[in-house]
Amino acid sequence: MSETPELTEQQQQWADQWATWDYTELQERAVRLAEHRHDIGWLWKLAGHSRGASAMAAEGGDLGSVGGSISDALAAVQQVFGKSPEIDMSPELEPMFRVVFSEYLAIHEGEPPASN
């Protein structure tokens, strides 16, 4: 996720707060926000940076061949982060995605609510 803008000091504090949230809730909130913002670029990058993308490609589901709509991007993200064993995200990638989700929320949503 190399094209993430550099966070301000305040945004980094918010990202640190977001990062303490339950991982599933953090993931769902970031993806919902991206969907609401129609941030197809971020969703495609998210799907492309997971091991699930490799599993999809092995099954003939290359991300590059999927259309460019927001619903296509969301479907790819749901497939990548789904519960199917062959495409489930590897646990060792959680720390990286936790940072990606928390930074996205800090940039586009700001400070997290007082309680999650």
Please give the chain's pLDDT, 116 residues, in tens: 445 578 999 999 999 999 999 998 998 999 899 989 989 888 888 877 665 544 444 444 444 544 566 666 667 666 666 543 333 456 788 898 899 999 999 999 999 998 66
Token code pair at residue 40: 């197809």
* C-alpha span between 19 and 61 (Å, rounded): 31
Q: Where are the domains of the chain?
A: 9-108
pLDDT of residue 56: 45
Element (H, E) at 35: helix 23-36
pLDDT of residue 85: 36
Residue type, 94: E
* Three-state DSSP class for residue 38: coil
pLDDT of residue 52: 52
Has this prediction a pTM greater than 0.75? Answer: no
